């Protein structure tokens, strides 16, 4: 041990070598909490800056064509447990649409983009309404009124023969 530090005392009569041990332990404690906090903050910052990974799509057979009448809607629960509303327009394409590629079906996740509540379809007035804050979405899922920042998430629908399929996002395990 250093003989100069052996008998040295500070102004209060405390041993100087004990203070240096205390300072060392305080430094270790500060570093032990500051480093993980800084790394956690950096990770959160990266999550904010970098775009999220795109979810894979699962193709689900949802029903037969005849199960949804023209002008009607049907609610489905997807494999992740969220609700999807499928709307069927008239079976006849508008004059400006190609009859061979016409798809009378639209589907939307009913989870509101504001707070995650479930909206519901009001077929008589052809709009989605979220009961949490009276948000209103048109039949294309776009925000008409209320606080949601973006519209409802559109789900891809495909008709093959007399079967209807939806492509819903899922998370790979």
Domain boundaries, the chain: 3-49, 56-170
pLDDT digits (tens, 9 = 90+) for 42-95: 877 777 677 666 667 778 888 888 888 888 888 888 766 778 888 888 766 666
The fold of the 56-170 domain, in CATH, is Rieske Iron-sulfur Protein (2.102.10)
> Who contacts 102 (Cβ-Cβ below 8 Å, separation ≥6)?
93
Cβ–Cβ contacts within 10 Å for residue 113, how many? 19
Cβ–Cβ contacts within 10 Å for residue 82, how many? 16
pLDDT digits (tens, 9 = 90+) for 113-144: 888 888 888 888 889 999 888 899 998 999 99
Region of 5 please: left (phi>0), alpha (psi -120 to 50) or beta.
alpha
Name which of 78, 47, 69, 49 is nearest 153 in CA terms: 78
Please state, in angstroms and as integers, the Cα–Cα distance from residue 98 to each residue in 95, 104, 129, 131, following that order.
8, 12, 31, 37
Starting at the earlier edge strand, list the strands of the sheet with 163-170. Answer: 56-64, 163-170, 154-160, 105-109, 83-88, 73-77
Express as a percent the part of the chain with pLDDT over 70. 75
pLDDT band at 21 (very low <50, low <70, confident <90, very high): confident
pLDDT band at 172 (very low <50, low <70, confident <90, very high): low
> Who contacts 112 (Cβ-Cβ below 8 Å, separation ≥6)?
118, 119, 130, 132, 135, 148, 152
What integer pLDDT is reported at residue 158 of this predicted model?
86
**Where is pLDDT greater, at 149 or 52?**
149
The answer to whether 107 and 86 are in contact (CB under 8 A) is yes
Mean pLDDT of the chain: 79
- Dig out the tokens for 61 from the structure: 């057979």
């Amino acid at each position: 041990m250093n003989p100069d530090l052996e008998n040295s005392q500070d102004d209060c009569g405390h041993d100087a070598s004990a203070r240096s041990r205390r300072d060392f332990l305080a430094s270790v404690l500060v570093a032990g909490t500051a480093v993980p906090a800084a790394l956690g903050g950096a990770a959160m910052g990266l999550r904010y800056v970098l775009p999220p990974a795109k979810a894979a799509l699962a193709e689900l057979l949802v029903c037969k064509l005849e199960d949804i009448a023209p002008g009607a809607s049907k609610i489905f629960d997807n494999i992740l447990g969220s609700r999807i509303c499928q709307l069927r327009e008239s079976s006849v394409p508008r004059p400006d649409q190609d009859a061979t590629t016409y798809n009378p079906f639209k589907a939307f996740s009913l989870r509101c983009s504001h707070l995650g509540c479930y909206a519901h379809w009001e077929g008589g007035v052809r709009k989605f309404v979220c009961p949490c804050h009276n948000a209103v979405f048109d039949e294309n899922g776009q925000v008409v009124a209320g606080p949601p920042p973006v519209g409802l998430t559109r789900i891809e629908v495909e008709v093959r023969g007399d079967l209807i399929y939806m492509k819903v996002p899922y998370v790979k395990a």
